[in-house]
Structure 1
């Protein structure tokens, strides 16, 4: 599933000069100059298909990009998707710091210098719907290795950009959500090879609705853990208070591992509805990613939900 991307980076340097993804029309115009075609030009070297080992069909692109939770824009999924796709990401940067030896700030071009991979993952929302998405990104571990976590670092905290001009509902008082949105992982979870920082999906750049310009993807956890539009990554020594855990700790635990045997207080998690279908399928422990089970050896998964 790994893709070497030297040609991609050469093309992307040209695109970055046009302001990253600020104008897809401009990107496509430059793609034509380079002899590339359409939106596929963004991930031009991702022609080789990653294996779909999920046992399920890949979700239709329109379903995956129009049915989203992004409360910073709206609590209505379709409205949020429409509003979010106008997100201006020009000048975006991600600050990486905290308990580490080499803190750094990365712009979008820097993120694209990592070895990009195409990963087809199941994605399970806590609301009991699911999808299968071909992401493009790199292992979070590669970034953490660069900044060299200090020995006392035990957790990784992620924060979405706070800017009510870009994210209008951050200024709303609905539900008393304490923006900016914050999520966190244990350091060993963050370093697991499945944990991805995604910059694209379906061989295209991430849309605003799906967390442009960079988001976390943790496929064995409920979707709210996969924080969108990241602006800060911090290595810390204590478990961070996260947004949904702070709002409703009896409903949204810190670990949020997909578990059919642990019901949400208001609905069962035993089955899930796949987007684009009315059929319901059985939910799998860890969303089917059994290789992460050793991370939780000896833990009571009902207590640490």
Structure 2
């Protein structure tokens, strides 16, 4: 077990790195590059985002009025720059390097788009994304985001609580978990042409985790429509868990009786648990999780249990061994 810190730049899990090299050697796949550019969007947060824009075609300001969150869950830490949030991403469906998602974002078309809500629910349905978004007044939530690789951000998301969406379909008494499935389309997501993960990307939560008021469905950030590289048109945000729990470009949400399979847990169960709660006392097999590098800052800072949300969520895991159930 290594206890030294990961490098301050990217960290790609070793198993993926080796498979990536093998794939490039054998297949020689070349992914072209292009800038994802769309019309300028109005910032509802009052902060200029810089030159990076959403890859949503004909994008505009969010149509609904933004309702600022009451602030009970917001962090007061400085927000990460929009440019950093939208150009430093893990989204392997759009490439393995941090810069790939922004360069290839134009390939992902978030309209037309539907989301299927099914499984252990009384009212299953498949709904157009714009109809779905019209159901909820958008809220801004300023959350810390901690990546399992040892870096972090503070992101002002725009969206709505997942609990509000689940209430629409009325879970049955048998529902215990929520499974999230993301888009499978190698033309829009050329990274899926590489067998680095078992596509499509899937994630899951216990039902009580999904219903917690912190658990959020994001459809924007910094008061703008969600850029493709950040998971447009709809992504999951669970701020007390490592970032890989936040599935991007979601097309299906299913309630299940049993614990769903999740992509990273299937790929490397000794490294990535189902729960993936931020725990500085449990190191990754190849690096410590005790500290993190906040993007835009120099140096490192201590990582907080549950990413600083212990007061709100620790009770969900009362009696559990958080080293075993990592």
Measured against the shorter chain, the TM-score band is 0.7 to 0.9
1:168 to 190, 194, 209: 190
Q: Tell me the alpha carbon deviations over residues 66-101 of structure 1, each in whole angstroms, 9 at most, x when there is no partner.
A: 000011111011022210244111210100000110
User: Take 1:301 and 1:85, find their aligned partners in 2: how far apart are those partners?
Assistant: 40
Residue pair 1:155, 1:187 contacting (<8 A) in 2 also: yes
Q: Which has the higher contact order (CA 8 A, sep 6+)?
A: 2
Seen in structure 2, the aligned counterparts of structure 1 residues 111 and 300 have a Cα distance that, compared at 3 Å, is: same
Deviation (angstroms), 1:268: 0.5
Residues of 1 paired with 2:157 and 2:283: CA distance?
28
Correspondent of 1:25 among 34, 39, 45: 39
Q: Give the corresponding residue for 2:305.
A: 285
- 4+ residue stretches of structure 1 with deviation over 6 A? none
Which of 147, 156, 159 is the equivalent residue of 2:181? 159
Question: Is 1:245–2:259 an aligned residue pair?
Answer: no
Task: Name the SS for the 2:289 alignment partner.
Answer: coil
Structure showing the higher helix proportion among its residues? 1
* Matched pairs, number: 273
State yes or no: 1:149 paired with 2:164.
no
Equivalent pair of 2:67/2:137 in contact (CA under 8 Å): no
Q: Normalising by structure 2, report the TM-score.
A: 0.79
How far 1:27 moved relative to its partner?
7.9
Contact 1:50/1:119 (8 A) holds in 2 = no
Q: What is the match of residue 131 of structure 1?
A: 153
Alignment deviations for residues 37-85 of structure 1 (CA, whole Å, 9 cap, x no partner): x987326733868758424210000001100001111101102221024
CA contact (8 A) 1:69 1:77 kept: yes
Q: Is the 8 A contact 2:61 2:225 kept in 1?
A: no
Pairing 1:93–2:107 present = no
Q: Structure 2: give runs of 5+ residues left out of the alignment.
A: 1-35, 43-57
> Which residue is equivalent to 1:213?
233
Alpha-carbon distance in 2 for matches of 1:42, 1:78: 26
The 3-state SS of whatever aligns with 2:168 is helix
Match of 1:191 in 2: 211
Q: Distance in 1 between matches of 2:206 and 2:277?
A: 13
Residues 43 and 203 in structure 1, CA contact (< 8 A), matched pair in contact too: no
Consecutive unaligned residues in structure 1, runs of 5 or more = 1-21, 29-37
Give me the whole-angstrom Cα distance separating, in 2, the residues matched to 1:213 and 1:118.
Answer: 16
2:94 is paired with a residue whose SS is coil
- Asked whether the equivalents of residues 86 and 230 of structure 2 are also in contact (C-alpha less than 8 Å), the reply is yes
Q: Secondary structure at the match of 2:93?
A: coil
1:277 deviation in Å?
Answer: 1.6
